[in-house]
Amino acid sequence: MKKTMELNKSTVPQPITTVYRLHMFIHSIIMLALIYYRVSNLFKFENILSLQALAWLLITFGEFSFILKWFFGQGTRWRPVERDVFPENITCKDSDLPPIDVMVFTANPKKEPIVDVMNTVISAMALDYPTDKLAVYLADDGGCPLSLYAMEQACLFAKLWLPFCRKYGIKTRCPKAFFSPLGDDDRVLKNDDFAAEMKEIKLKYEEFQQNVEHAGESGKINGNVVPDRASLIKVINERENEKSVDDLTKMPLLVYVSRERRFNRLHHFKGGSANALLRVSGIMSNAPYVLVLDCDFFCHDPISARKAMCFHLDPKLSSDLAYVQFPQVFYNVSKSDIYDVKIRQAYKTIWHGMDGIQGPVLSGTGYFLKRKALYTSPGVKEAYLSSPEKHFGRSKKFLASLEEKNGYVKADKVISEDIIEEAKILATCAYEDGTHWGQEIGYSYDCHLESTFTGYLLHCKGWTSTYLYPDRPSFLGCAPVDMQGFSSQLIKWVAALTQAGLSHLNPITYGLSSRMRTLQCMCYAYLMYFTLYSWGMVMYASVPSIGLLFGFQVYPEVHDPWFAVYVIAFISTILENMSESIPEGGSVKTWWMEYRALMMMGVSAIWLGGLKAIYDKIVGTQGEKLYLSDKAIDKEKLKKYEKGKFDFQGIGILALPLIAFSVLNLVGFIVGANHVFITMNYAGVLGQLLVSSFFVFVVVTVVIDVVSFLKVS
């Protein structure tokens, strides 16, 4: 019998996993001891309403927040998994590979430069995958006429770019990246013809770029968002015309989609756009797998689709595998990364940890999703087929696409005017009325982080996912390079996750009662209740210093054995944190930058995001507004970021808690140190002095920059 070659393999890293588990055991004993110490001493106050009793209660709340957040996080450390793939072992012919629909999302040309969006579209068209099995859609939720024009121009350029990439085996298939330092290896001289063709291609790319920019700047074509509009669907490139051409010059299906938007109708942001695109693509190509890309994340590895298929085609995984997630990697991260924009903890630790349980979070971009997973549960007969109109709406063409016997719309099938007209109806506001779209079907509308929450619900239904972190990034994006950009993004994430954690669909009550595994529920609780960290930080940044000012203590005296427990707890926490940074290609400096950024964000963006979620829950305003990250990079801000200098322009209210807590700790430290100097008695206040001095040491230099910036402003 011929041995079947494996498509993928997974390994549990050792000895780090054993060390993680040993640390969990030791640290949990320390945490239980601290809880006992705090609670038992709380009842020893003669006057429970005194300032000192209140301070003790608040610091107890802060420490309990830290401990609960740590407890939830242990799910991510129990069984981390690292995976590798072998696309060369895919045995089926290219003609038998499953089709893929690529969905690129954009919303605002002012914040998402159109030329960069088109670079993402072109990189998707250039994937090393059978052209007749590939369709690329741009969902323009801004309805900007300039985006449509740019897409037509991008298609013309792609007819030159794709053959060039295929002819010379180019790996960096995003043209902007190819002509940057990212493409240095690909631009190595191969032969004289290559040099000449590359020069010609560069001129054509610059011409394409100038045409698009000139059309917008001159006002020839409207470059603004059109907020109130009808749906518009246009096929930019039709595959049926590609039969007679050779493999080098073949082009995939390329479609522009702008759904209907009306002032008086809820549009559900990216989730609504994604669901509209699912329906439109369902009657045009209906690929069983979907690659989702944010407009600023271009394809950097042309074989990423084949790598994803190493999981989707594996019979041991495929039956209940919903998606394959790739990490978000950024090409503009500086060496110091003062804001921790690469979020190493998520993509290097948490996602690997979840992969060893039920799979990583659906992360918004860079994932290959099984279309069927958005419609049903694994191993369950499609119950919706008995009443499909109730679930999916009344479009007969779309309902027909759900039946397995119809499946993928073949490349030789012409996309007729009837199909386009039907697609326009599917993209209207009214189509979802009375259906289950956004609830049981498609992307969820219950959270602004539509992908993350949809992935959570997929895991609740029993679906699994996998995570692949390849050596060469499969997708590259652009990270914010100033405090305002990253903080605004972080507030949005924390607020949305906290809102989900406060809803009836939270991982404690709903998750544990679903088909999700217990450890997976802990992982999601860690993410949805991450704001617990900020409450612990706020208590630690305020209560000890207030104690120094008013002369009461909240930590044990130096000679008390409990003081040693606190020292051990601090060291244990720092070592745990360092173990997640240094082994993953980091250094002590890397760890310090990440830790400092986390402390700063803990008393500003994360805290405010949590407060916003609580306020929205009480008032009932969630779902009304959404902050869109600015993808246009300011050159002056980039220079500051690369030099490791903080840029506080536009941070507004975020500066207040940073300055307030820093001043409080600095004054508290001075008063406490003065008391020790006068009385020569440090035993009762050493713990508070250490906490205040540590906070000041971490952020005081940053605050000086904030104050200096405010003076200049």
How many C-beta neighbours within 10 Å does residue 493 have? 20
Q: Please count the residues of the chain.
A: 713
- Dist CA 311 CA 317 (whole Å): 7
- Residue written as tokens 């997976």? 520
Q: Are 359 and 464 within 8 A, CB to CB?
A: yes
Please state the separation of Cα 361 from the chain's center in Å.
Answer: 9
- Dist CA 640 CA 705 (whole Å): 12
Q: Are 447 and 262 within 8 A, CB to CB?
A: no
Q: Are 483 and 646 within 8 A, CB to CB?
A: yes
**Cis ω on the peptide bond leading into residue 80 (within 30° of 0)?**
no
Which secondary structure element, helix H or strand E, spans residue 114, and what is its range? helix 114-125
Q: Are 544 and 688 within 8 A, CB to CB?
A: yes
User: Which residues are known catalytic residues?
Assistant: 141, 451
How many C-beta neighbours within 10 Å does residue 572 have? 15
Best CA proximity match to 661, nearest among 509, 552, 534: 534
Q: Which residues of 524-533 are buried (b: 16+ CB within 10 A; e: fewer)?
A: bbbbbbbbbb
DSSP tag of 134: E
- Dist CA 179 CA 198 (whole Å): 10
Q: How far is CA 182 from CA 65, 397, 478, in A?
A: 43, 44, 13
**Under 8 Å CB-to-CB from 379, ≥6 apart: which residues?**
319, 320, 462
Degrees to nearest 5, angle at CA 430 with 425 and 432: 90
As given in the structure block, the two tokens for residue 671 are 């008063």
